[in-house]
Amino acid sequence: MGLDVPTGGYEMIFGKRAFFGYAVAPDGEVWWFANIPRSDEPAPGEVEGIDEQKWIAHLMDLFAEDAGPATRLIDATPTIGNASAVHSIPHLPTWHTDRMVVIGDAAHAPSPS
């Protein structure tokens, strides 16, 4: 597929409108994911009910202007697995008090990807 990453590598790309990540297994198989920001809460079943061709078109549009292999990987994928809404917690407003400091991964929720 012409990816410029070593086998076994993992890349995360902050695109202009969405976040994309992919990993290349030792046998060359590629796994990828996309995090699409959204300000509102999707209705129950809304995300899961989107037609696969609409997902592909939406993803291709989101990553069209970005450098990197996102559009090539999406285009080369025979079928998209599952799509689901993910949730994250708001920004931590206070990260220290008196003699306690919250740093690193303790200061935020883990990435849902």
Could you state, in order of their start, the residue ranges of all structural domains in the chain? Answer: 10-107
Strand partners, 24: 30
pLDDT at 30 over 70: yes
Neighbours of 51 (CB within 10 A): 8
Please tell me the predicted confidence (pLDDT) of residue 108.
Answer: 67
- pLDDT band of residue 56 (cuts 50, 70, 90) is very high
Separation CA 87–CA 35 (nearest Å): 11
If 0-12 CB within 10 Å is exposed, 13-18 middle and 19+ buried, where does residue 34 land?
buried
74 pLDDT tier (thresholds 50, 70, 90): very high
Contact 4, 14 (CB under 8 A): no
Confidence band (pLDDT; 50, 70, 90) for 102?
confident
**Tokens matching residue 94:** 């206070």
